[in-house]
Amino acid sequence: MSEVVKIKGLKTGLQLSFAKGASFEDIQADLQNKLESGDKFFIRGTTVFVQKGYFSEERNEKLRRMFHRHGMLFSDELKNPAMLPISKIPKRETQSQTQKTLIVNKTVRGGQEIRAEGSVMIFGNVNPGAQVIAGGNIDIRGTCRGSVHAGAFGDTTACVVADRLMPMQIQIADILARSPDDLEMPDHAEKASIKDGRIVIDAVSR
């Protein structure tokens, strides 16, 4: 069974769309699964949107209850972001409004976490114990020794690029790879992407 529920990141929350022909029961089961798997994007306080009129009021109510149990808000109308109360907008690192790419101008140290709905560009190192999670690509102008997760909403075309790519774990969409135990420091920039269902690393020039 392919993805029944697709999740897309918005500035104000998450938007759900559904595979054609999927029954409500399937959708409900898939969402339940996703919620219980502790998916990184289902954060408490996030608003989840579905298209208006997609479900009947009764079904909307069911979904609303399900999300409420996990501390999230449910809405069937996508409002103008400006109309939402500030507290309901998930807080992110300073992000320029004109670009979708989040720029981080510092070293990301152990225990710190960078999350972004779009792509991330980091001018600095990602140290061991740090985490970077992005809906899009991750570009690190420095050494990557932490854990990175690109394409966190399921985008299998996402990639991770770093000047020295030596992460502890690397995840793209839902495919995870662990670095070898005796990793040597590469002397050129590398890119990790998915090929034939596996994460592969190629040299890139830049």
Reading the block at residue 122, the tokens are 């980091």
Q: Which of 23, 62, 111, 169 lies at the binding interface for other proteins (CB under 8 A)? A: 111
* Binding flag, residue 149, other proteins (CB under 8 A): no
Are 128 and 147 in contact, with CB atoms under 8 Å apart?
A: no
Give 170's Cβ-side CA count (13 Å radius).
26
From 44-52, 85-93, 105-113, 167-175, span contacting other proteins (CB under 8 A): 105-113
Q: Which of 45, 53, 71, 110 lies at the binding interface for other proteins (CB under 8 A)? A: 110
Q: Which of 89, 101, 128, 191 lies at the binding interface for other proteins (CB under 8 A)? A: 128
* Shortest CB 181 distance to other proteins, Å: 14
Q: Alpha-carbon dihedral of residues 90, 128, 123, 191, nearest 10 degrees? A: -100
The interface with other proteins within residues 152-191 (CB under 8 A) comprises none
List of E strands, 108-167: 113-116, 120-123, 131-134, 138-144, 147-150, 160-165
Using CB under 8 A as the criterion, which residues of the chain lie in contact with other proteins when the complex forms?
106-107, 109-112, 125, 127-129, 143, 145
